[in-house]
Amino acid sequence: MIPLRQNIAEMAGYVPGFQPADAASYIKLNTNENPYPPAPSVLAAIAAEAGEGLRRYPDAASRLAREEAGRLYGFDPSWVIMANGSDEVLNNLIRAFAGEGEEVAYVHPSYSYYGTLTNIQGARVRTFGLTDDFQIAGLPERYQGKLFFLTNPNAPLGFTYSQSFIASLAERIDGMLVVDEAYADFADENSLELVKSHENVVVTRTFSKSYSLAGMRLGLAIARPQVIDALNKIRDHYNLDRLAQAAAAAALKDQEYFRSCVARIRETRERFTAELLRLGFQVIPSSGNYVFATPPGGDGAALYEALYQRRILVRHFTDPLLRHGVRISIGTAEEMAKTVETIAQIVA
């Protein structure tokens, strides 16, 4: 008998999106990666760092990347922490705020990894559902749990909550409100101002989607310095390696390349949505780099399978709330044109 902690023995591990070994032979639209390469300036910064200096430890404070982030978002660097993927900082927020048996909440459906991280900590998961018009169902007048994770834009559905709602939510929560803005770069609004106005609001970002750097594992959080100081106590001291720090600083600096990629993805998203609607799909208007689409007949699994046979990889969730549709990441205009053509053949 291996003497595991009971919560670890009993939990199911998180299952990440499928990463096929021969990814290049698919149109890969299943994990919301960016179809465009990282900025040339980012690749040059990584190459410049990949030398004899790697024998030295990196800067434990990720100072240059934090300064770039602070400049870009309008915060002193003391309000910024860099993370080895935003998943790292989500984990450390739970470790900082929710003790064993204490409560962590999130909306279902959203990013179920919050639940996995909460179970590892030995804290308790509470989920809130959604009404038909995407309001949070059953929210108490005061929420007394330690943390509330709000994915905005929602993943996998793509809708957004208004900033006035998020402000009122922060005011109803005794604990911390973490606004997971993994996809906010593709949306019209974000909650950075709420970090200034509400001391219990934390915003998290990732470089995996909008900055084309899923392979580098980079994220960040913005919060009051007292929160950042606590997170700094918890994280691995060298959480970002030298290549990641160089990539992060260069990516945040090169806003021109970034903006052009985001603009193209938003444009392609709107065109793809219109074409699916024309084919009789139901499509939730999306503020992310993906759409949640329900085919005529509502059999998401069959559509997933038919696309997979034709080497187009999308995401199907078996959850009863999601199995009627599929989540399709937005690729290049060419990839999405091919996808529409293939879907038209499938539904014909």
Ligand X SMILES: *Cc1c(COP(=O)(O)O)cnc(C)c1O
> Which residue ranges make up the site for ligand X (CB under 6 A)?
85-87, 111, 151, 155, 180, 182, 206, 208, 214, 219
User: Cβ 53 to ligand X, closest distance in Å?
Assistant: 25
Nearer to ligand X, 34 or 343 (CB): 34
H or E element, residue 219: strand 219-222
User: Cβ 206 to ligand X, closest distance in Å?
Assistant: 3
User: Cβ 214 to ligand X, closest distance in Å?
Assistant: 6
Q: How many angstroms separate the CA atoms of 273 and 281, rounded?
A: 9
Q: Where are the alpha helices (DSSP H) in 212-319?
A: 225-234, 242-253, 255-278, 300-309
Q: What is the DSSP string of 326-339?
A: EEEE---HHHHHHH
User: Cβ 134 to ligand X, closest distance in Å?
Assistant: 16
User: Cβ 190 to ligand X, closest distance in Å?
Assistant: 14
Nearer to ligand X, 200 or 210 (CB): 210
The CA-based angle 186-187-190, given to 5 degrees, is 120
Nearer to ligand X, 85 or 300 (CB): 85
User: Cβ 199 to ligand X, closest distance in Å?
Assistant: 23
Nearer to ligand X, 115 or 295 (CB): 115
Cβ neighbours, 10 Å, residue 250: 24
Q: How many angstroms separate the CA atoms of 111 and 14, rounded?
A: 11
Nearer to ligand X, 155 or 326 (CB): 155
Nearer to ligand X, 266 or 295 (CB): 266
Could you give the C-alpha distances from 192 to 3, 184, 238, in angstroms and in order? 44, 10, 26
Amino acid identity for residue 123 in this structure = A
